[in-house]
Amino acid sequence: MQQILKSLGLSHLNEGISTGAASWQGQGEEISSFSPVDGHLIGKVNAASREDYETVIGQAQEAFKTWRLVPAPKRGEIVRQMGEQFRQYKTELGTLVSYEMGKSLQEGLGEVQEIIDICDFAVGLSRQLYGLSMHSERPSHRMYEQWHPLGIVGIISAFNFPVAVWSWNSMLAWVCGDVCVWKPSEKTPLTAIACQHIIKEVLKTNNVPEGVSGLVVGGREVGEWLSHDVRIPLVSATGSTRMGKAVGQAVGGRLGRSLLELGGNNAIIVSSQADLPLAIPAIVFGAVGTAGQRCTSTRRLIVHETIYDEVKTRLAKAYVQLRIGNPLDAHYHVGPLIDTDAVENYQSAIRAIEAQGGTFVVAPAVLSGEAFASGCYVAPCIAEVENDWDIVQHETFAPILYLIKYSTIEEAIAFQNGVPQGLSSAIFTLNLREAEAFLSQAGSDCGIANVNIGTSGAEIGGAFGGEKETGGGRESGSDAWKAYMRRQTNTINYGTTLPLAQGIKFEI
């Protein structure tokens, strides 16, 4: 790990590390980053003080003045070079993601691959920031719309995707001509600093001011500075619904824009006509992958009554085979939770399930012993519950899977929609009518609805996000770029008279 930290420019272990690509040193409180894998201290960083924050915002404002004038395809070329850098550092950064956050090495590497993919996407996008043209109702007039950059995009990210979410936002924002100020999760500051180091050389080689990519490490307070700051036209925030409500109110209160990517409570419907050999691995990966700490993790399984017992038995058999341990070792399927607070949340959810009368098909446990010395390892579990129980209505960020029985497809869809969140959903069925009912306007109310694949593991090409308490934001692919720009409608009169719209006459 020492070697990896060194290659990512993070070798000043325990000495405090500069919190940004900028040349200043953070002056705020000290944050220690412990690995949930083994409980070891990886490094310490000084968070941004208010003064540091002002410096970064000032640099961003200055940088915007020149960056917005760089032709979009040239900005794309710079993003392409960043993608090359991430290709070069994929193993090192993926390993650090895995060690600092606790997800499996495969998933850590997958996260860096997402950065590479969104860079490629953004390069193409840099030549496709299309506006429409319209026919004017007035003679000798031309109407069209164009898209301009907004300015500073504030990015607040969560611990569970410590680098990918930043890249979904920043790579698009950069080709759109915006500059970015990133506040990563205080639980994963080192991966964020590593990303800044990885792109720093590209900025330098291309004479791009460092203010294009600002970093402010810190906790909630720093996020609040961003949300209340009128100099930041767009705040893109990923995290819990509680956080999103606070950010949404603060940004809305100053009539800024927010792009909110919040909690999910994702369900898979397993129909009586499901292909079970396909469904079972998808369910298990969705429920236990990243130790249940994906926004798209499968939390509820809504199973048809005729196959309920069979699904239960198959899942119990699959769960017995799960190996829990060091996520850097490919032998293990399930790694740790992020910290001991998360373990407490898991335990409190277990108590709530028991208090409401739930029974466990696969029992919960907090694991102890030398291999689990960080105190962050728990056993994935499965509980039989009712959909409307209070605990089932909440997102518990841990590998707890709820089993719910249904008898008609209408009832299954009502259960699926019967929670406050609306991120990801799926149905396993080989019945065309059921699949189409699930996808119809009366079907799933989520931002993501899949057929015969699970709820997690989205590709960057689609717009990513969800409805209701998930916040309504869309990031990544499709036309999500429009959130990072302002639309301007232009009407040009190339005639010799001044006709007014709607035939209004005004003569002087």
**Angular region, 487: left φ>0, alpha ψ -120 to 50, beta rest:** beta
Measured CA to CA, the distance from residue 139 to residue 130 in angstroms comes to 25
The reply on whether position 220 binds ligand NAD by CB under 6 A is: yes
Query: Taking CB under 6 A as the criterion, which residues in 289-348 touch ligand NAD?
Result: 295
The reply on whether position 191 binds ligand NAD by CB under 6 A is: no
Q: What ranges in 103-261 are assigned the alpha helix state H?
A: 105-125, 164-176, 189-205, 220-228, 241-253
Stretch that binds ligand NAD, among 9-17, 79-87, 154-162, 371-379 (CB under 6 A): 154-162
Shortest distance in whole angstroms from residue 460 CB to ligand NAD: 12
Q: How far does CA 71 lie from the centroid of its chain?
A: 28
Shortest distance in whole angstroms from residue 341 CB to ligand NAD: 9
Secondary structure in 3-state letters for 212-241: HEEECCCCHHHHHHHHHCCCCCEEEEECCH
The reply on whether position 246 binds ligand NAD by CB under 6 A is: yes
Q: Does 111 qualify as catalytic in the annotation?
A: no
The residue from 57, 247, 383, 485 that contacts ligand NAD (CB under 6 A) is 247
Q: Structure tokens of 313?
A: 């038995």
The residue from 126, 160, 167, 258 that contacts ligand NAD (CB under 6 A) is 160
Look at residues 430, 467, 427, 459 and name the one whose alpha carbon lies nearest to residue 267: 427
Which residue's CB is nearer to ligand NAD, number 38 or number 475?
475
Interacting residues of 78 by C-beta distance below 8 A, sequence separation 6+: 174, 202, 203, 206, 208
Look at residues 33, 35, 38 and name the one whose alpha carbon lies nearest to residue 14: 33
Which residue's CB is nearer to ligand NAD, number 57 or number 129?
57
Query: Taking CB under 6 A as the criterion, which residues in 257-296 touch ligand NAD?
Result: 261-264, 295
Stretch that binds ligand NAD, among 115-123, 243-251, 365-373, 494-502 (CB under 6 A): 243-251
Shortest distance in whole angstroms from residue 242 CB to ligand NAD: 6
User: How many of the chain's residues bind ligand NAD (CB under 6 A)?
Assistant: 30
CB neighbours of residue 359 within 10 Å? 11
The residue from 397, 406, 415, 484 that contacts ligand NAD (CB under 6 A) is 397
The reply on whether position 85 binds ligand NAD by CB under 6 A is: no
Give me the residue whose beta carbon is nearest to ligand NAD: 223
Which residue's CB is nearer to ligand NAD, number 208 or number 251?
251
Q: Using the CB atoms, write b or e for 310-325: b if 16+ within 10 Å.
A: ebbebbeebbeeeebb
> Which residues is 491 bridged to in the sheet?
143
- Please give the positions annotated as active site: 261, 295
Contact positions vs ligand NAD (CB under 6 A): 156-161, 183, 185-186, 219-220, 223-224, 227, 238-240, 243, 246-247, 261-264, 295, 395, 397, 423, 466, 470
